[in-house]
Amino acid sequence: MTEIDSNGSVRELSFPMARRCPFAPPPEYERLRADSPLVRVQLPHGGTAWVVTRHAEAQQLLTDPRVSSDANRPGFPSVRPPQEPPADEGTSSAEPLTAEQLTELAEIAQFHEGQFINLDPPRHGHYRRMLISEFGARQMNELRPEVQRITDRLVDDMLAKGSPADLVEDLGLPLSSLVICRLLGVPYEDHEYFQSATRTLVQLDAEPEQLKAAMEGLIDFLDELVKAAVREPGDNLIGRLINEQVGSGELTRAALVGMAFLLLTAGHEATANMLPLGMLTLLEHPRQLAELRENPALLPGAVDELLRFHSVSDWAAFDRVATEDIEIDGRKIMAGEGIFVLSASANRDERAFERPDTFDIHRKARHHIAFGYGVHQCIGQNLARAELEIGLGTLLRRIPALRLDKPMDELPFKYQNFVFGLHAMPVRW
């Protein structure tokens, strides 16, 4: 899709497009989706990419082996400013690297390898398989009482402090962070540091130096955590991976640090944002909220509808590059061209969902792609669902008088972030 500017020349649409209403994707999506399943857009720091607007084509491309998640491939799209090449620290090409430098480079490569979200099959499967049993439905059911305990403690604190409270700061962020920290074995006293570092990583307007500092800090922190766990593996995910995978040589220590980094950052912000946003949506739909309070068995369906309705990650997790030419609907994605799937558009596609702009807790919404689709589909989805069901269910049960402390139009929404949500959600009861 192109537009004609005032000089009469053709120009591509700028990407990303911003949301302007908290309950709707960027308004341009509807027209783009009506026009074509594939639209070429202009990236903010140069170059173009394709965006995928419809549900069927999104699923098709996310399962196409000619589409890669490997950010090192030429043409991989990015909305961030280009990275400065690393400064030359005095090693000329004539000088061979020292053994220490070689080890460091190998460890950096292993760290990236552990972040398997950026790998293609078969390397992707090698790492993902190590975690499947950790995040299965049974393991997540076993974790539910712990998630409930953490939620209850946070709600106890909110009630003890009295209204107003902030559902982002007092519930969404600490719940998401405490649960994943517990799963990995991150000590409780470190979760505040961890939260502020991950917050910087998902800010669209974060300065490159800020971003670098946050990443490096978090990596050092995890490196120390893994070193300590190698000495004394605990009964947690990192401890089990050390015993089973590092011990057998399937996983290097540096790749384990990369994997832990991925697990800590991949779902933290999305889950933390979905909880307040979910509660806000229910407050704005009081009849459905009353129905849920009356019948908590409706919660699992409501959570999937909330995930579909908001699609908080939208395109952010869906960056890809074509490795061969791919033709869809008469348009050709050339090898080496970047692709973003617009999950917020696909999840409002009228071809896949009836009355897609209506929030309806009775809808069968499980085929939404808010958790992705294909080999990279979110490994933490059962965990995220458990946190949202328990978090929302607990608020409905324990604070029935919960209401907004500010009018909707004064709430600070994250229109500038990779992952959509609220900076704060003041409530009282």
Binding site for ligand HEM (CB under 6 A): 69, 116-117, 128, 180, 262-263, 266-267, 270-271, 274, 312-313, 317-318, 370-372, 376, 378-380, 383-384
289 or 419: whose CB is closer to ligand HEM? 419
Angle between helix axes 299-310 and 268-283 (nearest 10 degrees) is 110
As a dihedral over the C-alpha atoms of residue 363, residue 383, residue 283, residue 298, rounded to 10 degrees, the angle is: 40
Minimum CB separation from ligand HEM for residue 7, in Å? 38
Minimum CB separation from ligand HEM for residue 361, in Å? 17
263 or 292: whose CB is closer to ligand HEM? 263
Q: What are the tokens at 133?
A: 């049993």
Minimum CB separation from ligand HEM for residue 124, in Å? 6
251 or 274: whose CB is closer to ligand HEM? 274
Instruction: Identify the burial level of 388 via C-beta atoms within 10 angstroms of its C-beta, where 0-12 means exposed, 13-18 middle and 19 or more buried.
Output: buried
CA distance 257 to 210: 21
178 or 214: whose CB is closer to ligand HEM? 178
Minimum CB separation from ligand HEM for residue 263, in Å? 5
Minimum CB separation from ligand HEM for residue 317, in Å? 4
CA distance 9 to 7: 5
Yes or no: say if 158 and 429 are a contact pair by the CB < 8 Å rule. Answer: no
Alpha-helix residue ranges (DSSP H) falling in 84-167: 99-114, 123-132, 137-161
229 or 266: whose CB is closer to ligand HEM? 266
Residue type, 217: G
Query: Collapsing DSSP states into helix, strand and coil, what is residue 176?
Result: helix
245 or 313: whose CB is closer to ligand HEM? 313
Minimum CB separation from ligand HEM for residue 93, in Å? 36
Mode of pairing for the β-strands spanning 48-52 and 38-42: antiparallel
Minimum CB separation from ligand HEM for residue 161, in Å? 26
165 or 341: whose CB is closer to ligand HEM? 341
33 or 310: whose CB is closer to ligand HEM? 310
Minimum CB separation from ligand HEM for residue 159, in Å? 25
CA distance 82 to 246: 35
Residues paired with residue 52 on neighbouring β-strands, in sequence order: 38, 341
117 or 283: whose CB is closer to ligand HEM? 117
1 or 79: whose CB is closer to ligand HEM? 79
Longest dimension (CA), the chain: 74
CA angle 380/141/427 to nearest 5° reads 70
Minimum CB separation from ligand HEM for residue 205, in Å? 21
Query: Collapsing DSSP states into helix, strand and coil, what is residue 233?
Result: coil
- C-beta nearest to ligand HEM: residue: 267
Q: How many CB atoms lie within 10 A of CB 14?
A: 12
Q: What are the tokens at 141?
A: 């059911």
Yes or no: say if 316 and 337 are a contact pair by the CB < 8 Å rule. Answer: no
CA distance 398 to 35: 47
Minimum CB separation from ligand HEM for residue 196, in Å? 18
Minimum CB separation from ligand HEM for residue 343, in Å? 6
Q: What are the tokens at 306?
A: 């909330």
Q: How many CB atoms lie within 10 A of CB 256?
A: 26
Yes or no: say if 426 and 164 are a contact pair by the CB < 8 Å rule. Answer: yes
Q: What are the tokens at 137?
A: 């439905």
242 or 270: whose CB is closer to ligand HEM? 270
Going by C-beta distance under 8 Å and a sequence separation of 6 or more, which residues neighbour residue 213?
A: 200
Beta-sheet strand order (sheet of 403-404): 165-166, 426-428, 403-404
